[in-house]
Amino acid sequence: MSIDSDSSSQSGADYRSFRQITRDRLLVEMLRSTRKSSKSTWKVLIMDKLTVKIMSFSCKMADITEEGVSLVEDLYKRRQPLPSMDAIYFMQPTKENVRIFMSDMSGKNSLYKKAYVFFSSPVQRELVAHIKKDSTVLTRISALSEMNLEYFAIDSQGFITDHDKALEELFSEDAEGSHKYNACLNTMATRIATVFASLREFPRVHYRVARTIDASTLTTLRDLVPTKLAASVWNSLARYKSTIPEFPQTETCELLIVDRSIDQIAPIIHEWTYDAMCHDLLYMDGNKYVQEVPSKNGSANEKKEVLLEDHDPVWLELRHAHIADANERLYEKMTSFVSKNKAAQLQQARSGGELSTKQLQKMVQALPQYSDQIDKLTLHVEIAGKLNNIIKEQHLKDVGQLEQDLVFGDAGTKELISFLRTRMDVSRENKLRLLMIYASINPEKFFESDKGAKLMQLAGLSADDMIVVNNMRCLRGPDTKKSSVGAFTLKFDLQKKKPGIRKERVGEESTWMLSRFYPILEDLIEKLSKGELPKDEYHCMNDPSPSFRGIPGSTSARTSPAHQPAQSMRSRRIGGTWARPRNSDDGYSSDSVLKHASSDLRKLGPRLFIFVIGGATRSELRVAHKLSSKLKREIILGSSSLDDPPQFITKLKMLSTEELSLDDLQI
């Protein structure tokens, strides 16, 4: 018996999305493959803490059961012997995991009859040799394979590597010389590489280069993070070329590696889409939302946990819509349901007007045949109502307007000071976020004079809040006083002439104007697609092979020296992207190109992968969906984590606070 690398996950004619491939590999390639040689009808699935998350992000318990698994166990817990059943081990290739596995399967009486072992990433030869030394264990192993699947598929077009402490371990003041620095980068690189192993893709690896000013300026380890990660990913991919059957030998796609310094505003600013507002304002636990529903016996309301995920068609349609658009769509759905249902019309007549959430919930009990439809509508009407109340209570329209005016150069220090002096009704957190945006745009003004301290004092913020803003400097490049070359990515030229004021869109509420903001990543993806990444800011680990089917050689090295989006004010977009007609092909509508028939998917261009070190945002994930439709290419966003503003602020606080844990800090 020998180690087998994973088999090909898709044929050329069978084009499947990223998440579908991940799910199929776990269910078909791993679980179903054990049926061929196993005499056991039902099996036990044993996983460690990481692999159980990998599985849960892609598969439901019903999917696993359907593949012949009757019991799921924790590798680290004491387990009941089941000597008549076969076991499937899906685990990381660590010494401790192998030790536990050997203990399970060795001796006269093993815990299970046969074992099928699948490692989530490449296993060291020493561990394989250790397993083979024990002849008793060896005879009980039916399969020993590398799945090369060690990432969380959090979205149909997104994944994370589960590095929640990446900011702290890679960018903190103590990152230099820390053993956690290299350990974090190496594990991250391994997990990114397994994405390409799963999809049978071999990318051109682009990365943001260190922003060193001149030969006399020392490049910090923090500034070298994208470079080091790119090199490590490249090394892992090079090994796959010789170890995985049918792994491409020439480039098939593009990968861009950047860090959080390319855009410090995106994780902080208020994003006005339904998905982002839910996670920013409702303090959800992941995708779990706690809904209050009437109890069946008529007593007090009961709390019910619901998941806002792809299985909910209303969520799928609304998640990337502007909150004002989401409200309109929900109203239309409710009106349409009532107009087509006599019982609903009767209920409305009794109530004498609009149906409330509670009345809708009661209708579920009266109309069981419509329960699922009404349940979904009720859920989102309740959520939208809560969001609208919070927007009013926290004066978020005013806060959001100033945020975007600052970003687009329509407001500056004077307007910020006026706002902080007069708006005592704005919360501490929102003032902090305003100052963080201002500091990102004006780092010299804020950090290199006493202006920052005065603004914080004017806002009435604490010394603890000042730590957060000061720690933003950890994501900056070298000192930029001497030269503008390689300057701080988020240094915007406020001295430039401001373009003409954008005309208001006729018939739109003021809320729609808050759709102007877009993440810098949107520009970078478009440049990557065209082969126009600035060569002085982005390097590539490999030159394109002649047979590369993505970008023509004539454009792959094309640059525009005069156009440096990372160092200039965000350019204006003509027309609000979130306020377009619903049937526009902007990627926000539910009929995104990636949801059409598989025949259309085959016509897509080569995939684009973007990886953000230090946490991606929901606005960036939204952009991946939007541009997939626009560019007709599947765009997959990866990151060390997916962060909402409260999480990102907490992580920034940790950059210089060793003695506190994430659980100790409250924003």
Query: Residue by residue, what is the 3-state secondary structure of 69-93?
Result: EEEEEECCCCCCCECCCEEEEEECC
State the pLDDT at residue 360. 57
State the pLDDT at residue 638. 98
Q: Which residue do the tokens 């998917």 mark?
A: 601
82 DSSP β-pair partners: 112
Please, are residues 462 and 470 in contact by the beta-carbon 8 Å criterion? no
| Mean pLDDT, 10 residues at a time, the chain of 667 residues | 40 68 96 86 96 96 95 96 96 97 94 97 95 94 96 96 95 81 96 97 95 60 92 96 92 96 94 96 91 73 88 93 92 81 61 58 56 82 94 96 91 94 94 94 85 89 86 70 38 37 36 78 94 93 54 37 37 40 38 44 82 97 94 96 95 70 43
Please, are residues 388 and 357 in contact by the beta-carbon 8 Å criterion? no
Q: Closest by alpha carbon to 564, among 526, 523, 530, 609?
A: 523
Q: What CA–CA distance (Å, rounded) separates 465 from 15?
A: 49
SS (H, E, C) 464-514: HHHHHHHHHHHHCCCCCCCCCCCCCCCCCCCCCCCCCCCCCCCCCCHHHHH
Please, are residues 170 and 225 in contact by the beta-carbon 8 Å criterion? yes
Q: Closest by alpha carbon to 31, among 45, 19, 41, 21?
A: 45
Task: Provide the 10 A C-beta neighbour count for residue 176.
Answer: 10
User: How distant, in Å, are the alpha carbons of 231, 510, 525, 620, 624 from that of 192?
Assistant: 12, 41, 18, 18, 17
State the pLDDT at residue 357. 57
From 2.30.130.30, 3.40.50.2060, 3.40.50.970, 3.40.50.1110, which CATH number describes the 18-150 domain? 3.40.50.2060
State the pLDDT at residue 655. 86
What CATH code is assigned to 274-394? 3.90.830.10
Strand order in the sheet with 86-91: 4-5, 141-146, 115-119, 86-91, 43-47, 69-74
SS3 for 206? strand
State the pLDDT at residue 463. 79
Q: Are strands 86-91 and 633-639 parallel, antiparallel or unpaired?
A: unpaired
State the pLDDT at residue 504. 31
- Measured in whole angstroms, how far is the alpha carbon of residue 234 from the centre of its chain? 22
| Length, in residues, of the chain | 667
609 DSSP β-pair partners: 255, 636
DSSP character for 518? -
Q: What CA–CA distance (Å, rounded) separates 501 from 515?
A: 15
Architecture of domain 152-263+519-542+592-654: 3-Layer(aba) Sandwich (3.40)
DSSP character for 667? -
Handedness of CA 337, 339, 342, 344 (dihedral sign): positive
CATH 3.40.50.1910 range(s) for the chain read 152-263+519-542+592-654
CATH 3.40.50.2060 range(s) for the chain read 18-150
Q: Closest by alpha carbon to 208, among 564, 572, 655?
A: 564
**Strand residue runs (E) in 243-314:** 253-259, 288-293, 302-307
Q: What CA–CA distance (Å, rounded) separates 189 from 181?
A: 12
State the pLDDT at residue 660. 41
SS3 for 526? helix
Q: What CA–CA distance (Å, rounded) separates 391 from 174?
A: 39
Q: What CA–CA distance (Å, rounded) separates 620 from 267?
A: 9
Query: 481 is written with which tokens?
Result: 């006083």
Q: What CA–CA distance (Å, rounded) separates 140 from 220?
A: 51
Task: Provide the 10 A C-beta neighbour count for residue 622.
Answer: 24
Please, are residues 116 and 142 in contact by the beta-carbon 8 Å criterion? yes
Please, are residues 474 and 222 in contact by the beta-carbon 8 Å criterion? yes
pTM of the shown model: 0.84
Task: Provide the 10 A C-beta neighbour count for residue 248.
Answer: 18
Axis crossing angle, helix 342-351 with helix 357-366, rounded to the nearest 10: 140
Please, are residues 327 and 383 in contact by the beta-carbon 8 Å criterion? no
